[in-house]
Amino acid sequence: MKTIWFAWLMALVLTSCVSAPPKGQANLLCFLTDGQTTRQDVIVTLGQPSARFEKERILTYRLGYDPKNHGYYMVEREPPTESGWSTWWHAKYSLVLVFDDTGVLRKHSLVEVN
């Protein structure tokens, strides 16, 4: 009986020590190369952007950051508060991608927003 209780106690102690696996991917943005990466590559890799400007010449993504593995992960636009403003609780960076007329990445910037 004591063994069972001890096993339960150990299980409880051990499970409380388990931490969530890191969310981010350190190399998530490594594929981005100005002059080479296409819009199609970006959408296939990162998914749909959180915003588009100038007829999709400029795309933006919201990214979270996990310090455990120095990794980035995608964050969707958050629903706005009652005042109508979208929040940045979960996103730390805004990735801005500017494409040329042929859809090839011309410039990009990872802006620390929060």
32 contacts: CB under 8 Å, gap ≥ 6 = 42, 97, 105, 108
Q: Which residue in the set 21, 35, 67, 79 belongs to the binding site for other proteins (CB under 8 A)? A: 79
CB of 69 to other proteins, least distance (A): 22
Q: Binding string to other proteins for residues 11 to 50, with x set by CB under 8 A, is what?
A: ---------------------------------------x
Report residue 34 as tokens. Answer: 């100005």
**Please, which residue, 32 or 98, has the CB nearer to other proteins?**
98
**Please, which residue, 41 or 78, has the CB nearer to other proteins?**
78
Residues 86 to 105 in contact with other proteins, rule: CB under 8 A? 86-89, 93-94, 96, 98
Residue with tokens 């051990």: 14
Burial category of 22 from C-beta neighbours within 10 Å (exposed 0-12, middle 13-18, buried 19 and up): middle
Residues that bind other proteins (rule: CB under 8 A) add up to a total of 31
Burial category of 85 from C-beta neighbours within 10 Å (exposed 0-12, middle 13-18, buried 19 and up): exposed
Report residue 65 as tokens. Answer: 């950051």
Reduce the DSSP state of residue 52 to 3 states and report it.
strand
* Binding residues vs other proteins (CB under 8 A): 50-54, 58, 60, 62, 76-81, 83-89, 93-94, 96, 98, 107, 109, 111-114
